């Protein structure tokens, strides 16, 4: 297992992109759209940040963050977690970029995402 990204829910995607690019030297890795969300992945060296903007302004929650780990085999991890009584809260989801992802809830209601990357660029 290795670290993949930290997700941050933002109010203004363009302003947030500019901030992380100009202040911390990140560059845009890719942009995605899911139902009701616009997403930008920023990358600097091995650090990746996911910025998430809900299309519904009232959906913004400043404390809505998640932890994500990249795994080699999402199916094996899902079996392992279910054997330990941890069931997915969302997913598995196959993204258009080839990634697969599943979300779980941790003991403190934190969101834990496991992601399998088909072709990491």
Phi/psi of residue 96, nearest 5 degrees: -60, -25
What is the per-residue pLDDT for 10?
Answer: 87
**Domains by residue range for the chain, with CATH:** 2-116 (3.10.180.10)
Both tokens of 58, joined, read 């009232």
Model pTM above 0.75: no
Q: Are 96 and 35 in contact (CB under 8 A)?
A: no
pLDDT band at 101 (very low <50, low <70, confident <90, very high): very high
Element (H, E) at 53: strand 47-54
Mean of pLDDT over the chain? 87
Angstrom distance (rounded) from CA 11 to CA 120: 28
15-63 pLDDT per residue, tens: 999 989 988 889 999 999 988 999 999 999 999 999 999 888 665 565 6
What is the per-residue pLDDT for 56?
Answer: 80
Q: Are 112 and 104 in contact (CB under 8 A)?
A: yes
């Amino acid at each position: 297992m290795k670290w993949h990204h930290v997700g941050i829910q933002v109010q203004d995607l363009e302003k947030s992109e500019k901030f992380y690019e100009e202040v911390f030297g990140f560059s845009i890795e890719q942009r995605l759209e899911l139902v009701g969300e616009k997403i930008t992945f920023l990358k600097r060296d091995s650090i990746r940040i996911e910025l998430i903007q809900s299309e519904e302004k009232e959906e913004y929650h400043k404390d809505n963050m998640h932890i994500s780990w990249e795994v080699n085999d999402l199916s094996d991890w899902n079996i392992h977690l279910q054997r330990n009584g941890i069931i997915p809260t969302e997913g598995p989801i196959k993204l258009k970029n080839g990634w697969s992802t599943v979300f779980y809830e941790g003991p403190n209601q934190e969101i834990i995402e496991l992601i399998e990357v088909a072709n990491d660029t």
